[in-house]
Amino acid sequence: MFPDNVNTSLDVSVVVYKHSEQQIAKVLETLIISAEESTINKIIIFIIDNYGNFSGEKLKRNINKTNNLSVTYEIKVLHPDKNLGYGKANNLACNLSDSKYHLVLNPDVFFDRPSIANAINYLDHNYDVVLVSPKIENEKGIIVSGIKRFPSFPILFLRFLDIPFLNKIFKRSLDHYACMDIIQSDIPQEIIMASGCCMLFKKEALKKVGGFNEDYFLYFEDFDLSLRTKQFGEIHYLPSFKIKHLGGNTGRKGFTHIRYFIASMFKFFRQYKK
């Protein structure tokens, strides 16, 4: 479906908004160190600044302090004229380079040392797989779900509310949606939808899909991208691709994020009526 080639470079897109350069440096250090154990020989990192205060100079200085990095890497900071949202900002980077792989990455994700090597090796040896999704730990070291089955409106509403006694009553349905049966296994499995916090693509597949749907400003763009990606190949959950994600729950965010979530949710259900 997608032929192998000798190009072993990796593009990375990281969308930032008021994030500190020191924090991003720590994230990227774990990525680069993890990539050193893989066949990747060059990493091109695109930082897309959706706020406008990210110069990249402190970031580069902090990473350069890390000793003995053998992988060649390049950091490019992009400054759009306005806040483009998550998907459109990622698309900027996707269109600027033609590496063999593309990693969509949140600015609060940290990699286990063998993770990138495991993921690249899996993609290289599984011809029909075009996207892998990682095993995710939260800041407390608890395994959490970044993969999902197709949602229903009631399930999303329950997750949005995140009320303990309701979560207990509807635990079976919530666990089914969150693929708890899959994430408790150490066996790679085909899935329907992957989390946008960390998506490793075969770049050719991502370009065929056309990248993110830019109609989604924030939230559900990863669900939409996953469903469209499945037209070109399989999406697999890969337990040996391990990350730590410090991201929070939508329901605990401010009003603006809640508004984006609700708007994108209705857009998603209009687009994917069952």
Q: Is residue 250 part of a domain?
A: yes
Predicted pLDDT of residue 170: 98
Strand-pair partners of 1: none
Nearest to 62 by CA among 24, 19, 111: 24
For the chain, the straight-line distance linking the first and the last C-alpha, in angstroms and rounded, comes to 28
Predicted pLDDT of residue 5: 46
Residue pair 211/92 in contact by the 8 Å Cβ criterion: no
Q: What angle do CA 199, 224, 118 make, to 5 degrees?
A: 15
pLDDT tens, the chain, 274 aa long? 444 444 589 999 999 999 999 999 999 999 999 999 999 999 999 999 999 888 888 888 888 766 677 889 999 999 999 999 999 999 999 989 889 999 999 999 999 999 999 999 999 999 999 999 999 999 999 999 999 999 999 999 999 888 999 999 999 999 999 999 999 999 999 999 999 999 999 999 999 999 999 999 989 999 999 999 999 999 999 999 999 999 755 555 678 888 999 999 999 999 997 6
Both tokens assigned to 206: 């991502």
Predicted pLDDT of residue 63: 84
Predicted pLDDT of residue 57: 86
Q: Is residue 153 part of a domain?
A: yes
Task: Please count the structural domains in the chain.
Answer: 1
Q: How many CA atoms lie within 13 A of 107 on its CB side?
A: 21
Both tokens assigned to 52: 């406008």
Predicted pLDDT of residue 205: 97
Q: Is residue 2 part of a domain?
A: no
Q: Which domain holds residue 255?
A: 9-271
- Report the CATH number that the domain containing residue 151 is assigned in CATH: 3.90.550.10
Q: Is residue 3 part of a domain?
A: no
Q: Is residue 116 part of a domain?
A: yes
Q: Is residue 133 part of a domain?
A: yes
Q: How many CA atoms lie within 13 A of 2 on its CB side?
A: 22
Q: Is residue 259 part of a domain?
A: yes
Q: How many CA atoms lie within 13 A of 59 on its CB side?
A: 25
Q: How many CA atoms lie within 13 A of 44 on its CB side?
A: 18
Q: Is residue 4 part of a domain?
A: no
Residue pair 200/236 in contact by the 8 Å Cβ criterion: no
Predicted pLDDT of residue 67: 60
Task: Answer positive or negative: Cα dihedral of 258, 263, 264, 265.
Answer: positive
